[in-house]
Amino acid sequence: MAVFLIVFGALLIFLAIAVVVLLSGDSLIRRQQVRRSMGTMTALTAPIEPTEALEAPFSERVVAPAVAKLSGWGRSISPADQPERVRRRLDLAGNPVNWDVDRVLGFKVVGLIGGALWGLLLGLVFGSALATILGLVLVSALLGYFGPDIALYQAGYNRTQEISRALPDALDLLTISVEAGMPFDSAVAQVATKTTGPLAEEFSRLLQEMQIGLGRTAAIKAMGARSDVPELRSFASAVVQADRLGIPVSNVLRIQAAEMRVKRSQRAEEAAQKVPVKILFPLIFCILPVLFIVILGPAVISIFKSLSG
C-alpha cells in the first residue's frame, strides 16, 4: 500500500508540473521571442556574458524550452495534417483563451506519458500478468493521447448546439433592426451587443473583420466557414447572394428568420420523440428494480419469516 501511495503521488506531481508548464509556457515563449527580437538590434555585436543566461527567470530558462520541446514531440508523433485538424477544432470550439495548436499537441504528449504511467501503476498494484500490464499501458496511453482531442470535440459540439439554439432569436433581432432603417453593419452590432453566447462572439468577430478592412462578403463567408452549423452556413450564403445580386437584405433576413423558427420547432419535436427511447434503458435498469424492491421487499421478508418460523 505504501508503494502504491508513493507511485501515485509521484504520478500526480508529474501531471501537475506538466499542466502548469503547458498553461504558463505559451505567454513566456511569446515574451521571450519579443524580447529576443528587440534585443537583437542592440546586442548583435555585444559580447555575451556567461552570467546573463543565469540571471534570466527560471520560467524563461526551463519552462519555455520545456513547452517548446513537448510541442515538438507532439508534432513529430502526430500525422502531417494533425496541426490543421487541431486548428479547425479550435475554431469550432471558439478558440478558447490560452489554447493554441502547440499547447494541444503538448497536452497530447503529456497525456500519452501520464496514461502509460497510470496503466503501469494499475498493473503493478493489482499484480497483473505481463500481458495485462501491457494492455493497460496501451489503453491508458491511447486514452491520454486522444483526451485533448475528445475535449476539443466536446467543446466544439456544445458551442455548435448553443449557436443553433440562439440563431433564430438573433436573426429576428437582425431583421427588426434592418427593417427599422439600420444599415447591416449597425444591425450586426446590435446583435453582438444585445445578446450573449457563442453566436454573439461570431457576430462580434464579423463586425471586427469588416471594421479592419475585410469586405462584407468575405467576412460573412469566413463566418460561415468557421462553423459546422448548417443554418448559420445557409444564412451566410443567403446574405452573400443577396449582396451580390442586389436583393434587399431585409427580405432575405425575414425569410431566413422564418425558416430558422420552423427548423427550431422541428428540432424540438424530434427531441421530444426521442425521449421515450432514451428513457427506456434507465427505466429498465434503474427505476423498475428499485420499485420491485420497495413493493415486493416487505412481502418477501414476511414470507421468509413465516417459512423460517
pLDDT tens, 239-292? 888 888 888 888 888 888 888 888 888 888 988 888 888 888 888 888 888 888
The single-letter DSSP state of residue 1 is: -
CATH architecture of 161-265: Up-down Bundle (1.20)
Q: Where in the chain is the domain with CATH 1.20.81?
A: 161-265
Instruction: Count each helix (H run) and each strand (E run) in the chain, helices first.
Output: 13, 0
258 grid coordinates: 422564418
- Judge contact between 234 and 243, C-beta under 8 A: no
pLDDT band at residue 113, thresholds of 50, 70 and 90?
Answer: confident
Q: Is the pLDDT of residue 207 over 50?
A: yes
- In one letter, which amino acid is 282? P
pLDDT at residue 48, rounded to an integer? 45
The single-letter DSSP state of residue 127 is: T
The single-letter DSSP state of residue 48 is: P
State the pTM of this model.
0.69
The SS3 assignment for 229 reads coil
Q: Residue holding cell 457563442? A: 198
